[in-house]
Amino acid sequence: MSSHSTAKALIPPYLLSAPALILYLAMLGVPMLLTFVLSFNAYDFNKGILPSYSLDNYIEIVTDSYFHEIFARTFGLALLVTVICALIGAPEAYILSRMRNPWRSFFLVVILGPLLISVIVRTLGWALLIGGSGVISSTLQSLGLIDEPFQLMFTFTGMTIALVHVLVPFMVIAVWASLQKLDPAVEDAGLSLGASQFTVLRRIVLPQVMPGVLSGSMIVFALTASAFATPAIIGGRRLKVVATTAYDEFLSTLNWPLGAAIAVVLLIANIVIIASYNRFIERKYAQVFG
Amino acid sequence: MSFLRMEGLVKKFGDFTAVERVDLSVEKGEFVSLLGPSGCGKTTTLQMIAGFVEPTEGRIIIDGRDITDVKANQRGLGIVFQSYALFPHMTVFDNVGFGLEMRGVAKDERRQRIEEALELVHLEPFAHRFPRELSGGQRQRVAVARALVIKPDVLLLDEPLSNLDAKLREDMQMELRSIQRTVGTTTILVTHDQTEAMAMSDRIAVMDQGRLVQVGVPLDAYEAPRTTFVSNFLGKTNTLRGTVASRAKGRMQVRVGEGMVDVRDVDPDLQGAISLSIRPEKLHFTSPADGRITGRVHTRLFLGNHWLFQVESPVGALLVTVENSGESVVEENQQIGLTWKPGEIRILPGNAADE
């Protein structure tokens, strides 16, 4: 009787969450599953996708140095962008937390600004700035500071700059959150014990906001590793990353199974990196911050 | 020559004067409390001594050295913060050792001094815990050990007990006082809690609206408050505002409300509006016929070690406390007389008293 009524009581919640659940499964779950299945299909340039299944696509990715280079570039880029974002974002958040209104609100909007603009528009903006005939290059040339056109388009540096620009807000927000938990008196306590301002920052403030820096890093790393629009526009075909490679396999080569396999490898690599990083953070800070 | 001197300290924040001409001298080894309600400027004064707030005017001198322009991290003072401000990412041991490390004390000596400091506050077994693994009282002790281990010239305590519950607070008062006696460090305590200030200090300095209104031994300040503010702030008191009606043969008749109070004429300069102040424990019940004033018991509260009465009388409502001797003294609604010993009523000029 009671189990019957319990089961009955559970129906409305399930019904209520059903639309979202169905949408989620249909729009995300099914395509991902299909992609996963697709990645095992064989492919022939003349006949298209073959109905046979094998690990050939994965073997190709693992053995071909062409893919090694792309994966190395992607994770190298993700690491570099993450480090730069931490170096810029952490001090930025600290300075911001020390500001008073209205300046604080103003600069917060400025920092979050990049998130409000479409990624395509923003990246094309960077292209206009850093291209060979772009604003920076032509200004420097007309000032006589450089002779040759200054080209950052289709370079690793250009990609890094554009990605840091859009991802730094995530770092600022993460560090900002942990700065809010900081007791302002601990800095005074450090000073009163004879520490210099710099030592207070390094030994007292930084260790306490480190969890914020680390969780911000996780977000920035994951977003960079899977970024598509910015590498596609600024890196182009010359500097492929994993996401643009998968895109090209799907839309230019039409080798869907290989594209799917690349996407799956990227997803798994990302999950493994993020999950082990998260475990590391949790273990490190469990005792201190609870 | 006193050890710590504040000379004409002034702090203005824009138009607002937080501290107005504070002059205070503290002897070596003395325990002095800055006492006052919130916003009286006591914390700002402490922050100026600590070096976190720059005085607008005035000087601070420690042991003959003018430290007014010395940076906070060069002053060598020990500070215990209201929030304790422990470093949450360091163990108790490292928290206490931080100041020594900054002073470049060698590792072996550091270890020895940290252990001594932890022993002083009875925290040796907790050396390797993190602050969040400690209770409020234990954190408090870590903060004290951390401040004292650097052998500061002056120890500053900023409302150190306000985050503890009542029972623990009393224990810590005793302990802090005994630690201070042991190490002999000159100490300034900032608090809004008059019992705490009176219990712990050699002298108290009562502040109101940025000024020092009375500095003295706790007993003197309590028994002989200079203003009604001080007398109200240092424990409960009955303040009767009245006017001098007549005086004769060294006595003075003061009209208060609908009644008359007969007091000694202490000062012929007292004219017009004056205040009479008497503490609740100085009023005693008698029969209505023997009382200097008569009244009716309105409410009676039993508070364990004493009774608290509210008495309605022609001069207004009066608070009376009577020590509990094991039996009931008077009942509610009973008609009673009230008396006091000569000299236990304080007479203050009416207008000056309100400042």
The average pLDDT across B212-231 equals 90
Least confident interval from A32-36, A88-92, A283-287, B218-222: A283-287
| CATH 3.40.50.300 domain range(s) in chain B | 4-232
Max mean pLDDT among A245-249, A284-288, B233-237 falls in A245-249
| pLDDT of res. A152 | 84
pLDDT band for B355, please (50, 70, 90 cuts): very low
Strand-strand pairing, B251-256 and B259-264: antiparallel
Please state the rounded mean pLDDT for residues A230-241. 90
A112 within domain boundaries:
yes
* B99 chain-A contacts, CB cut-off 8 A: 193-194
C-alpha B301/C-alpha B354 separation (Å) is 30
Domain assignment of residue A182, given as a range: 65-289
Q: Report the pLDDT averaged over residues A156-184.
A: 92
Which residue in the set B73, B75, B79 is minimally distant from A196, CB to CB?
B73
Confidence tier at B353 by pLDDT (50, 70, 90) = very low
- Residue A33, in any domain of the structure: no
Smallest CA–CA separation between A290 and chain B, in Å? 8
**CATH number of the domain that residue A194 is part of:** 1.10.3720.10
List the alpha helices (DSSP H) in A131-255.
135-142, 156-180, 185-192, 197-199, 206-225, 229-230, 242-251
CA-based nearest residue to B274, from B260, B292, B255: B255
Q: How many CB atoms lie within 10 A of CB A146?
A: 12
Which of 1.25.40.10, 2.40.50.140, 3.20.190.10, 3.40.50.300 is the CATH number of B236-353? 2.40.50.140
Average pLDDT over residues A63-69: 94
Q: Name residues 230-289 of chain A within 8 A of B (Cβ).
A: 287-289
User: What gap in Å lies between CA B231 and CA B223, rounded to an integer?
Assistant: 8
Least confident range of A29-38, A243-252, B320-329? B320-329
The answer to whether residue A208 neighbours chain B at the CB level (below 8 Å) is: yes
At A290 the pLDDT is 58
Cα separation, B176 vs B189, whole angstroms: 11
In percent, the amount of chain B with pLDDT more than 70 equals 98
Cα–Cα distance measured from residue A229 to residue A217, given in angstroms and rounded to the nearest whole number:
20
Pairing of strands B251-256, B238-248: antiparallel
Whole-structure pTM value = 0.82
CB-based contact (8 Å) between B141 and chain A?
no
In this prediction, residue B252 carries a pLDDT of 87
Instruction: State which fold the B4-232 domain adopts.
Output: Rossmann fold (3.40.50)
> Domain for residue A223, yes or no?
yes
Query: Residue B146: pLDDT band by 50, 70, 90 thresholds?
Result: very high
pLDDT at B351 over 70: no
**CATH 2.40.50.140 location in chain B:** 236-353
Q: What was the pLDDT predicted at B354?
A: 46
pLDDT of A132? 77
- Classify residue A214: in a domain, yes or no: yes
Q: Which of B272, B267, B266, B239 is nearest to B254 (CA)?
A: B272
Nearest by CB: B79 against A189, A204, A289: A189
pLDDT attached to residue B311:
94
Between B11 and B267, whose confidence is greater? B11
> Which residues in chain B are contacts of A192 at CB distance < 8 A?
50-51, 72-73, 75, 77-79, 147
Q: Nearest CA of chain B to the CA of A273: how many Å?
A: 26
Closest CA relative to residue A208, chosen from A250, A179, A243, A244: A179
| Average pLDDT along chain A | 89
pLDDT at B314 over 60: yes
Nearest residue of A to residue B92 by CA position?
A288
**Residue A84: inside a domain:** yes
- Which tens digit of pLDDT belongs to each residue from B120-135? 999 999 999 999 999 9
Q: How many domains does chain A have?
A: 1
> Which single residue is written with the structure tokens 């020590």?
B323
pLDDT score at B119: 93
Is the ipTM beyond the 0.90 threshold? no
Specify the pLDDT at position A4. 60
Of A186, A196, A290, the CB nearest to B87: A186
B167 to chain A, any CB pair closer than 8 A? The answer is no
Q: Is B162 on the interface with A (CB under 8 A)?
A: no
